[in-house]
């Protein structure tokens, strides 16, 4: 693309729209029209646009916790009350959605935020709008190639809004603050979904091996830490409560020089958790774990 000397404003082309329509049909059996797509400079602006444009004042927003911090904080941006739906690990160490709690909360809500794959728990869902036309008519689905193909810095995402009236209101929520998408991001998104499948399949296999290596290491070498196997993502949610540390994230940063994400970013009661990103070469993962192990031994 950079061999083309013009970098003026770019418009999403029909070929990109058709690539995405085909991807959603093949991947999820989800039939959408090219016009249902709205292009945005990120998923996060889309979440905020949807809450602002589509949720009535004072209606509550249901959010599963723990969760990615900009999603936790998005309702407060628009002075909307948040209702938390906590995940609890079951005896197999899985995090099932608490359907009974969801059913209790649903009658009073203005919106339900679902994250797929869930960050930080790595739970894989089906896009809810693909399940039925009735659900599609009430849904805004935000997606991007950012994380799978590591192009988040190109700031390109898209929304699928199949209800034309909802789409018009959602788009009006740009308010001159959410701009159009950059030329390279549009190009990269199209190429990723059109040609990047085989590359992604290889990466996923590598990440699965990293995940299994990590889980084995945690189970055999870190008696005070527990982890469940994420179904998706390259993130591991580590429960460090058995270590007896005041602040596990700070401990590993200071004593092992390993920077994990602090569980508190994802929920007020998650101070004993850290999030480890294993989307890295295996030698780096091994080195990080060896340092963490040494730091605990020397403590």
Ligand X SMILES: Cc1ncc(COP(=O)(O)O)c(C=O)c1O
What residues line the site for ligand X (CB under 6 A)? 42-44, 68, 71, 115, 119, 144, 146, 152, 157
Residue 142 or 217: the one with the smaller Cβ distance to ligand X is 142
Cβ at position 184, least distance to ligand X in Å: 15
Residue 183 or 217: the one with the smaller Cβ distance to ligand X is 183
Helix, strand, coil abundance in the chain, percent, nearest 5: 45, 15, 40
Q: What is the DSSP letter of 56?
A: P
If residue 24 lies in a helix (H) or strand (E), which one and from where to where? helix 14-28
Nearest-angstrom CA–CA distance, 63 and 118: 11
Residue 112 or 157: the one with the smaller Cβ distance to ligand X is 157
Q: How far is CA 233 from CA 105, 130, 142, 199, 201, in A?
A: 28, 21, 16, 16, 13
Cβ at position 127, least distance to ligand X in Å: 14
Residue 83 or 152: the one with the smaller Cβ distance to ligand X is 152
Which residue reads 């948040």 in tokens? 82
Q: What are phi and psi of 101, to 5 degrees?
A: -65, -40
In sequence order, what are the beta bridge partners of 281?
none
SS3 assignment, position 296: helix
Closest-CB residue for ligand X? 42
- Exposure string of 88-123, with b = 16+ CB inside 10 Å and e = fewer, is eeeeeeebeeeeebeeebeeeebbbbbbbbbbbbbb
Cβ at position 140, least distance to ligand X in Å: 13
Cβ at position 61, least distance to ligand X in Å: 15
Cβ at position 156, least distance to ligand X in Å: 8
Residue 128 or 137: the one with the smaller Cβ distance to ligand X is 128
Cβ at position 50, least distance to ligand X in Å: 12
Residue 115 or 139: the one with the smaller Cβ distance to ligand X is 115
């Amino acid at each position: 693309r950079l061999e083309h000397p013009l970098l003026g404003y770019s418009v999403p082309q029909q070929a990109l729209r058709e690539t995405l329509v085909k991807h959603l049909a093949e991947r999820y059996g989800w039939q959408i029209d090219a016009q249902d797509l709205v292009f945005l400079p990120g998923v996060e602006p889309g979440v905020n646009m949807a809450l602002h444009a589509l949720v009535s004042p004072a209606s509550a927003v249901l959010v599963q916790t723990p969760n990615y911090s900009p999603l936790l904080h998005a309702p407060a941006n628009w002075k909307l009350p948040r209702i938390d739906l906590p995940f609890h690990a079951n005896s197999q160490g899985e995090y099932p959605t608490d359907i009974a709690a969801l059913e209790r909360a649903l009658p009073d809500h203005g919106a339900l935020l679902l994250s797929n794959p869930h960050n930080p728990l790595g739970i894989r869902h089906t896009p809810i709008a693909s399940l039925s036309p009735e659900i599609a008519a009430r849904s805004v689905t935000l997606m991007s190639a950012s994380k799978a193909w590591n192009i988040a810095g190109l700031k390109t995402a898209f929304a699928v809004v199949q209800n034309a009236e909802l789409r018009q209101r959602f788009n009006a929520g740009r308010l001159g603050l959410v701009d159009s998408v950059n030329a390279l991001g549009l190009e990269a998104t199209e190429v990723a979904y059109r040609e990047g499948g085989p590359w992604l399949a290889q990466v996923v296999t590598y990440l699965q091996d990293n995940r299994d290596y990590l889980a084995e290491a945690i189970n055999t070498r870190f008696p005070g830490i527990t982890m469940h196997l994420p179904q998706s993502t390259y993130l591991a949610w580590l429960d460090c409560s058995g270590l007896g540390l005041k602040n596990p994230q700070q401990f590993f940063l200071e004593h092992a020089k390993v920077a994990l994400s602090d569980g508190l970013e994802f929920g007020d009661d998650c101070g004993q958790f850290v999030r480890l990103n294993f989307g890295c070469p295996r030698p780096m993962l091994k080195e990080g774990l060896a340092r963490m192990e040494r730091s605990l031994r020397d403590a």
